[in-house]
Amino acid sequence: MNTPKVTAETIRAMKGRERIAALTAYDFAMTQWLDAAGVPLLLVGDSVGMVVLGYPDTTHVTMEEMEHHVRSAARAKPRALLAADLPFNSCLTVAAALENTRRLLAAGAEAIKAEGGRNILPQVRAIIAAGIPFLGHLGMLPQNVVAEGGYHVKGKTPEERSNLMADAVALAEAGAFGIVLELVTPPVAREITAQIPIPTIGIGSGSDCDGEILVTTDLLGTSPGLVPRHVKKHWHFAEQMGAAVVEWKEGVIRPRRQSTDHKDHKI
């Protein structure tokens, strides 16, 4: 049965009606089977740097690498809305934000995500004014991990809470269709969700957001390294994959039983 294409407006309209499930996708095959599972929002995230390319954090991911993975995912022609991250230092000016956004759109992205709030508001407004759907990202910003010396939960202090709320309101007023809240304290995530008219999609921010996004390899248990604490339930495909490879390898290297079909027999 044919189902309608998911758009940014589809995601926006889900607020208060239906919780939003979102996952990351990095290639054709992954996008195809996540789409077949009915996930409405897929993100070609710069997390590709850590889980696919072997970088220590997302700050090493280039525009060329993002374009490559967006093209691969877009070839699956998903029903889901396919969003893509603007990578580190690709959104420093309005001109750069527009140029790099257009590069990702040319590669097949249908919406753009960038980290930040009021500090990138001119870039956000320019992207939206160009008719391009924009997804915000507040809270712990992975592209700031080096500058901040690690991954830290946000919203613990009154100042952080006030800044997060102001950023969320600014993004909503600028025309973003949703906001990812990463590692925001649950009370602050709940307050933001209640305050703004667009969906919040949480990751490690409690259960009161309008939806949830995960790195797919964290969900499946195939990410290199530790699985984040906010991934409460996940599969253990890495163990199963390893067992399958070992079983196949043993079948290859195990000496074959000699056949007696062509042996000489004394009469």
| Average pLDDT of the residues in 232-258 | 82
Strand boundaries in the chain, DSSP class E: 20-24, 41-44, 81-85, 111-115, 134-139, 178-182, 200-203, 211-214
pLDDT attached to residue 125: 98
| Backbone torsion region of residue 109, taken as left when φ is above 0, otherwise alpha when ψ lies between -120 and 50, otherwise beta | beta
pLDDT confidence tier of residue 51, bands split at 50, 70 and 90: very high
Tokens of 243: 């067992």
For the chain, which residues make up each domain, given as ranges?
8-214
Catalytic residue positions? 182
Q: State how far the Cα of 248 lies from the Cα of 129, in Å rounded to an integer.
A: 54
pLDDT confidence tier of residue 229, bands split at 50, 70 and 90: confident
| Average pLDDT of the residues in 27-49 | 97
Domain 8-214 top-level CATH class: alpha beta
